[in-house]
C-alpha cells in the first residue's frame, strides 16, 4: 500500500517533456486501428460531399464573370435572380432534416411534439451543427414576405440554431461564421441568412432586384467560401425613393362614361335624379393639394357644382318645398352653343321650426380606420355635430369592427359630456362587419323613433366592408328595405388608399341621404355645422328632373354631369323608383349645353333619308327651348307631386356676362370639372379663363369656399402644364 508521503513525492515530480518519436508511434497505431475497425461508419462527419451552398453560388458567378457574359446591368439581374432562387430552393430542401450516419433522413427536434422536446445539448466539436428548432408559425404577412425576400438575397449555409455570442464565433471546417449575434430571428424555422454577397446585389422593397452590377464584382467573387461579405464590398445601395415600398391604392371608385351628345330629333327627353352630394369635390381638392391631378372617375361634375352655396330664389313656404330658376346664356367655351342652367332652391327651415332629431352615429372602428385622417378626424367631426344639436335631440352610438356593438344607448343631447366621453373612448381594431353594424343602427333608431321628426343613421367609415354582406347590390337591398321604416341614412367618408367611394355612393343614394367626404376638420365644420340643416332635415325626397327639348329650336343637347344619376324615361312617373333628396336650404344645379338650330355647331350629321319632321307646323309651344318637369315627394308621403317650367326666350340673357354671379360661378366650376375629366368640349378652354370667370363672379364669400376654388384652379394649371 502506498503511503501518503510517497504520494506527496509523486505529486512534486515534474512531468516529462513529450517525446516526438512516441507521438509518431501513437499516431501510426491509431490510424492502423482506425483502418482495421469495421464498426466505424464509412460516412464522413461534418459537411456532406460537395461544395457548400454559398460556395456553389459564388463558383457559378465567378465562372460567368470569367467568361465575360455580363455585359449590361439588365443581364446582371437576369443572372442574379436565378442564382438566388436556386439557393433558396436548396436551403428549403436541405433545412428540415439532418443526414445521419446511415445516409437516411433522420427526425429532428423540430419534428417532435413540443411536450417531448429534449433539453438542448452542446454538439461535439467534430459533429455537424443541427438546424434551429421550428418556431411557431407567424401569421404576420410582413414577416412572411421578409423571409421570402431574404431567402432570395443570397445563398448561405444554415447557421447554428444558437443565438449566443459564443456560438457566433464557432469555427467550421470549410469556413468561418461571423457577425451572427445581431441577426434577427425569422419565423417558420428558417434561419436568417447573412448579408447578401456583393455580386448578387440587393433587393429593393417588394423583392425587386438591383440590376446595377457592382464595380468590384470580380474581387468580391473571390470571397472565401462560407465567409460573410464585408459591408464595404456590397453593391451600392438603391436610391432612397426606390427603397421605399410602393403602397397599393385600394380606393374603389365607380367608373363611368361622360354623357354623350344627343340629337333632339331622335332622343328629345333627358331624365335624371337630383344629386346634392359633395364627396367628389372634397376628394378632388385633397388630390390637388397633395400635388396630384385627380383620376377622371373621381370627378363627378354635378357634385363639384353643388358643393357651393348659391343664392337662388327659394319658395315662400314649406308647402312647396323648392323653387326652380332657369337661365339660358351663351357658352363661354363654344360660340356655337348655349347653356341652359336649371337651379333649384329648397325651403330653408328656421331653427325654431326644426323638428326633433333622433340620430344614430354608426362609426367604423375597424383596423383600417387606424390613421390620423380617419378615426381621430372622425371623432373630432362628430364632436362638432354634438355641439350643434338641441337639448331634446337624441343621440345613440353603434360601432362595428369584427362585430357590432352599442356604445351609447339613446341619450338626450342635454347630456353632452356623456356623449362626448363615449366618442372620445373609441379606438380602432379588427375586421369590418359593416352589414351587422347597419342592422344594429337601424334597430336602435327604431327604438327611439320620433314621429314627424328626423330619424337618421349617420354612417362614418372608409367603406372597407369585409365581413358579412360586402356586395354593393346586397347592401343596396338592405338599405332599401330599411328606408321604408322612415329612417334615412347619410354617409361620411374618411381617409384615402382604402376608400370605398362606390359603396358609399350606392347606400347613400338608396338610403334617402347624402354622401360627403371629410378630409379636414374645416370640411367637417362645413358639412356638420354650417350645412347641418340641409344635412339632417329633409324637405323633399325622390326628386327627379325630366327635360323635353323642342327639336324646332334645339338640334342637339348634352347634360353636364349626373352620369351616375341617369334614369330611364319611364322612371320619371314611377313612384316606386328611388331618387335624390333635398334638405333644408339645399341648392341643386344642372347645366345642359344645347345647340340651337342653324347655329353651325352640330356634331351629329343630319339624316339623308327619313329625316324627322321638326317644323311643328301649327303646333303650340313651337317657340320654347324646352319643358322642364320636376317630381318630388314630401318626406312623409309616398305619392309624388309635379312642378313644370317652360323655357322660352324670356329665360334668355343676351351675353354670358349678363347672367347672375351665381350662374357664372357655377358655370366656371362646371368647366373646371370637365377640364379635370379631360373632356373634348373644354379641351381648348384654359385654366386661366376658368379662373377669370370664377374671380369675376366670386361675389360674397363669407367662408372662403370660392377663394379656395380659385387656388385649386391654379394648382391644377401648374400640375397640368399650364394648359
Q: How large is the average pLDDT for residues 506-514? A: 82
* Spatial CB neighbours of 333, under 8 Å, sequence gap ≥ 6: 671, 681, 682, 684, 685, 689
For the cut 50, the answer to whether the pLDDT of residue 706 exceeds it is yes
Rounded distance between C-alpha atoms, residue 243 and residue 480, angstroms? 48
Rounded distance between C-alpha atoms, residue 432 and residue 368, angstroms? 8
Strands 175-176 and 587-596: unpaired
Split at pLDDT 50, 70, 90, the class of 413 is: very high
For the cut 60, the answer to whether the pLDDT of residue 200 exceeds it is no
Rounded distance between C-alpha atoms, residue 329 and residue 475, angstroms? 42
CATH topology of 263-273+292-349+539-602+621-685 equal to that of 354-514?
no
Rounded distance between C-alpha atoms, residue 410 and residue 359, angstroms? 9
Split at pLDDT 50, 70, 90, the class of 146 is: very low
Mean pLDDT for the chain? 75
Half-sphere exposure of 650 (CA within 13 A, CB side): 6
Q: Are 396 and 487 in contact (CB under 8 A)?
A: no
Q: Residue 142's closest CA among 92, 187, 81, 192?
A: 187
Q: Are 642 and 630 in contact (CB under 8 A)?
A: yes
Sequential DSSP letters for 106-122 = E--GGGS-GGGPPPP-P
The dotted CATH code for 354-514 is 3.40.50.410
Rounded distance between C-alpha atoms, residue 195 and residue 211, angstroms? 17
For the cut 70, the answer to whether the pLDDT of residue 213 exceeds it is no
- Report the C-alpha dihedral over residues 614, 616, 620, 624, rounded to 10 degrees: 30
Rounded distance between C-alpha atoms, residue 303 and residue 677, angstroms? 13
Rounded distance between C-alpha atoms, residue 721 and residue 715, angstroms? 10
pTM (global) more than 0.95? no
User: In percent, how much of the chain has pLDDT > 70?
Assistant: 63
The dotted CATH code for 263-273+292-349+539-602+621-685 is 2.60.40.1230
DSSP 18: P
Q: Are 463 and 501 in contact (CB under 8 A)?
A: yes
Q: Out of 175-179, 247-251, 410-414, 702-706, which region has the weakest mean confidence (pLDDT)?
A: 175-179
Q: Radius of gyration of the chain from Cα atoms?
A: 39
Split at pLDDT 50, 70, 90, the class of 627 is: very high
Rounded distance between C-alpha atoms, residue 458 and residue 638, angstroms? 23
Q: What is the pLDDT of residues 12-59, one digit of tens each?
A: 776 667 677 877 888 888 777 766 654 544 444 444 445 555 555 566
Rounded distance between C-alpha atoms, residue 31 and residue 365, angstroms? 75
- Going from N- to C-terminal start, the domains of the chain cover 53-112+126-234, 263-273+292-349+539-602+621-685, 354-514
- Bridge partners of residue 632, in order along the sequence: 641
pLDDT of residue 718: 95
pLDDT of residue 60: 61
103: how many CB neighbours lie within 10 A of its CB? 10
Strands 322-331 and 454-461: unpaired
Strands 515-518 and 488-494: parallel
pLDDT of residue 36: 62
Q: Are 247 and 271 in contact (CB under 8 A)?
A: no
* Residue with more model confidence, 518 or 50: 518
For the cut 90, the answer to whether the pLDDT of residue 137 exceeds it is no
Q: Are 179 and 238 in contact (CB under 8 A)?
A: no
Strand, helix or coil for residue 222: coil
Q: What is the pLDDT of residues 563-603, one digit of tens each?
A: 999 999 999 999 999 898 998 889 999 999 999 988 887 77
Give, for 686, the enclosing helix (H) or strand (E).
none
Q: What is the pLDDT of residues 455-476, one digit of tens each?
A: 999 999 887 665 445 566 777 7
Give, for 195, the enclosing helix (H) or strand (E).
none
Q: What is the pLDDT of residues 262-300, one digit of tens each?
A: 999 999 999 999 988 999 999 999 999 999 999 999 999
DSSP 528: I
Q: Are 652 and 339 in contact (CB under 8 A)?
A: no
Where b means 16+ CB within 10 Å and e means fewer, 232-269 reads ebbbeebeeeeeeeeeeeebebeeeebbeebbbbeebe
pLDDT of residue 375: 93
Amino acid at each position: 500500500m502506498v503511503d501518503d508521503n510517497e504520494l506527496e513525492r509523486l505529486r512534486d515530480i515534474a512531468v516529462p517533456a513529450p517525446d516526438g518519436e512516441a507521438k509518431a508511434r501513437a499516431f501510426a497505431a491509431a490510424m492502423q486501428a482506425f483502418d482495421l475497425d469495421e464498426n466505424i461508419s464509412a460516412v464522413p462527419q461534418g459537411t456532406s460531399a460537395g461544395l457548400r451552398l454559398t460556395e456553389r453560388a459564388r463558383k457559378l458567378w465567378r465562372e460567368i464573370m470569367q467568361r465575360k457574359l455580363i455585359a449590361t446591368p439588365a443581364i446582371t439581374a437576369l443572372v442574379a435572380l436565378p442564382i438566388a432562387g436556386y439557393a433558396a430552393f436548396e436551403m428549403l430542401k436541405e433545412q428540415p432534416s439532418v443526414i445521419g450516419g446511415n445516409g437516411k433522413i433522420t427526425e429532428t427536434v423540430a419534428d417532435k411534439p413540443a411536450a417531448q422536446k429534449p433539453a438542448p445539448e452542446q454538439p461535439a466539436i467534430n459533429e455537424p451543427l443541427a438546424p434551429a428548432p421550428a418556431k411557431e408559425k407567424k401569421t404576420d404577412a410582413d414577416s412572411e414576405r421578409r423571409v421570402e425576400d431574404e431567402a432570395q438575397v443570397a445563398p448561405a449555409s444554415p447557421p447554428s440554431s444558437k443565438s449566443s455570442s459564443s456560438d457566433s464565433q464557432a469555427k467550421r471546417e470549410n469556413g468561418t461564421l461571423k457577425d451572427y449575434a445581431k441577426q434577427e430571428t425569422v419565423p417558420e424555422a428558417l434561419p436568417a441568412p447573412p448579408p447578401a454577397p456583393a455580386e448578387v446585389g440587393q433587393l429593393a422593397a417588394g423583392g425587386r432586384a438591383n440590376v446595377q452590377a457592382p464595380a468590384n464584382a470580380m474581387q468580391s467573387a473571390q470571397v472565401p467560401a462560407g465567409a460573410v461579405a464585408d459591408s464595404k464590398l456590397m453593391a451600392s445601395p438603391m436610391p432612397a425613393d426606390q427603397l421605399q415600398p410602393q403602397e397599393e391604392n385600394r380606393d374603389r371608385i365607380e367608373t363611368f362614361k361622360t354623357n354623350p351628345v344627343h340629337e333632339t330629333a331622335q332622343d328629345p327627353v333627358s331624365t335624371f335624379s337630383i344629386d346634392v352630394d359633395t364627396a367628389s369635390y372634397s376628394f378632388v381638392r385633397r388630390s390637388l393639394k397633395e400635388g396630384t391631378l385627380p383620376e377622371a372617375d373621381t370627378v363627378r361634375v354635378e357634385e363639384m357644382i353643388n358643393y357651393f352655396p348659391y343664392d337662388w330664389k327659394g319658395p315662400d313656404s314649406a308647402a312647396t318645398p323648392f323653387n326652380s330658376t332657369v337661365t339660358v346664356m351663351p357658352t363661354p367655351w363654344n360660340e356655337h352653343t348655349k347653356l341652359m342652367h336649371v337651379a333649384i332652391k329648397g325651403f330653408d327651415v328656421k331653427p325654431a321650426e326644426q323638428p326633433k332629431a333622433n340620430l344614430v352615429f354608426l362609426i367604423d372602428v375597424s383596423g383600417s380606420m387606424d390613421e390620423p385622417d380617419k378615426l381621430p378626424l372622425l371623432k373630432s367631426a362628430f364632436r362638432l355635430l354634438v355641439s350643434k344639436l338641441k337639448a331634446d335631440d337624441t343621440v345613440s352610438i353603434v360601432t362595428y369592427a369584427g362585430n357590432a356593438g352599442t356604445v351609447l344607448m339613446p341619450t338626450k343631447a342635454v347630456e353632452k359630456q356623456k356623449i362626448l366621453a363615449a366618442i372620445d373612448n373609441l379606438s380602432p381594431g379588427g375586421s369590418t362587419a359593416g352589414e351587422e353594424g347597419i342592422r344594429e343602427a337601424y334597430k336602435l333608431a327604431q327604438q327611439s323613433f320620433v314621429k314627424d321628426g328626423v330619424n337618421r343613421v349617420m354612417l362614418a367609415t372608409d367603406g372597407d366592408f369585409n365581413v358579412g354582406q360586402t356586395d354593393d347590390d346586397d347592401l343596396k337591398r338592405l338599405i332599401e328595405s330599411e328606408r321604408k321604416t322612415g329612417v334615412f341614412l347619410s354617409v361620411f367618408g374618411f381617409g384615402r388608399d382604402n376608400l370605398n367611394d362606390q359603396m358609399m355612393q350606392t347606400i347613400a343614394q338608396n338610403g334617402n341621404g347624402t354622401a360627403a367626404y371629410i378630409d379636414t376638420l374645416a370640411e367637417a365644420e362645413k358639412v356638420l355645422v354650417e350645412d347641418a340643416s340641409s344635412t339632417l332635415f329633409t324637405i323633399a325626397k325622390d326628386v327627379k328632373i325630366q327635360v323635353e327639348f323642342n327639336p324646332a329650336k334645339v338640334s342637339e343637347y348634352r347634360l353636364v354631369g349626373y352620369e351616375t344619376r341617369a334614369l330611364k324615361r319611364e322612371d320619371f312617373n314611377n313612384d316606386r323608383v328611388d331618387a335624390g333628396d333635398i334638405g333644408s336650404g339645399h341648392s341643386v344645379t344642372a347645366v345642359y349645353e344645347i345647340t340651337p338650330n342653324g347655329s353651325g355647331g352640330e356634331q351629329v350629321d343630319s339624316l339623308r333619308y327619313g329625316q324627322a319632321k321638326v317644323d311643328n307646323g301649327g303646333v303650340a309651344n313651337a317657340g320654347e327651348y324646352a319643358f322642364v318637369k320636376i317630381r318630388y315627394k314630401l318626406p312623409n308621403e309616398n305619392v309624388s307631386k309635379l312642378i313644370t317650367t317652360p323655357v322660352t326666350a324670356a329665360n334668355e340673357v343676351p351675353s354670358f356676362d349678363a347672367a347672375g354671379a351665381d350662374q357664372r360661378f357655377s358655370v366656371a366650376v362646371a368647366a373646371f370639372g370637365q377640364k379635370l375629366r379631360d373632356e373634348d368640349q373644354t379641351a381648348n378652354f384654359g385654366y386661366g379663363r376658368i379662373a377669370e370667370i370664377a374671380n369675376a363672379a366670386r361675389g360674397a364669400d363669407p367662408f372662403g369656399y370660392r377663394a379656395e376654388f380659385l387656388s385649386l384652379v391654379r394648382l391644377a394649371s401648374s400640375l397640368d402644364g399650364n394648359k
